[in-house]
Amino acid sequence: MSDPKGRGKRTMSENAIQIRGLRKTYSGRRGVPGKEALGDVDLDIPAGSVFGLLGPNGAGKSTLINILAGLVIKSAGKVTIWGFDQDVNPRQSRAAIGVMPQELNLDPFFTPRGALEVQAGLYGVPGSQRRSDEILKLIGLEDKAQAYARTLSGGMRRRLLLGKALVHRPHVLVLDEPTAGVDIELRQMLWENIRRLNAEGMTIILTTHYLEEAEEMCDQIAIINHGQVVARDSTANLLARLDARKMIIAPESPVVTLPAAPGIEVAVRTDGTLALTYHSAQTGAEAVLSAVRDAGIRIRDVRTEQADLQDVFLELTRSR
């Protein structure tokens, strides 16, 4: 997106966000110890990327996002947003980022245009540089510009939250569970907008519980668990870390005896097919087929499945 104020230009080879030694401990009550939400987090988010921030509930994702947005004060560490140190240049670092929160926190008595105008004023955007009508068209609310927010559907309110995050032309856009509880049509509209903004050079940070979305949308992913970054890599590399394979066997008749062999796990699916999980580095496909034949099973059809992001996520968070 264009940058009328000329705030800190960045190239694709540089980081939009750099985090070093980030810690956050919430104070406890009398007699109750404090809770460490983040512990010594280091993280680089490349400029121009769509970056996934994943983790189970309570892992520290919201705390990290709120620190980036300037809503939570960190306990220790350094955060740099678009080249601006949060401690040295708090106004510039905050102006470089926009956040679409998960909660539908809108004033019910503002119209969408009014909400965008107020938000732009809070960021000091001059009247001549405001883009309220352009943003309303982008988020598909131009026909609701003068309707009170309290009359909007839940999906329309979520679109308005996206519009508010864009009023000051941020270089970095954070989307906190943007498609939680929305219908398919709205989800597709949101992702079309995200792809368009990213194509224009905006860095996108996405948190989501829909792992298939992260797998489809994100160039790189960090997985957080118990306040620690347990993995950070390209989506392709994360998927490659698991060499687990599944061979799906459709038998010609109901199975009486399940296949059994070292390194092979067998599960019977509801449709009667067998899912045989094995690790390709230890067990070859021929060994799996031999175990099936040894069990007296005649094969009607066979296919293989590779690990998806959900498998990686579960593997990285299960025992930590």
Q: Where are the alpha helices (DSSP H) in 57-131?
A: 61-68, 90-95, 112-122
Residue 44: phi, psi to the nearest 5?
A: -115, 130
Please report which confidence band the pLDDT of residue 242 belongs to, taking 50, 70 and 90 as the band edges.
Answer: low
The string of pLDDT tens digits covering residues 102-128 is: 888 888 889 999 999 999 999 999 999
For 112-235, strand residue ranges (E) read: 172-176, 203-207, 220-225, 228-234
Handedness of CA 256, 259, 265, 268 (dihedral sign): negative
Report d(CA 303, CA 249) in Å as an integer: 7
Given the DSSP bridges, would you call strands 50-54 and 203-207 parallel, antiparallel or unpaired?
parallel
Question: Which of 9-18, 61-70, 139-148, 200-209 has the weakest average pLDDT?
Answer: 9-18
Q: Is the dihedral of CA 106, 112, 116, 118 positive or negative?
A: negative
Quickly count: other Cβ atoms within 10 Å of residue 296's Cβ: 12
pLDDT at 12 over 60: no
Q: Helix, strand or coil for residue 288?
A: helix
pLDDT digit string (tens) for 141-173? 999 999 988 898 888 898 899 999 999 999 999
Which amino acid, residue 236? A
Task: Determine contact, residues 276/288, Cβ cutoff 8 Å.
Answer: yes
43-59 per-position pLDDT tens digit = 999 999 999 999 888 88
pLDDT of residue 46: 95
Return the minimum-mean-pLDDT range out of 27-36, 53-62, 211-220: 27-36
Lowest mean pLDDT among 215-229, 234-248, 262-276: 234-248
Tell me which residue of 176, 233, 210, 225 sits closest to 310, measured CA to CA. 210
Q: Which of 69, 76, 97, 96 is nearest to 25 (CA)?
A: 76
Q: Are 19 and 63 in contact (CB under 8 A)?
A: no
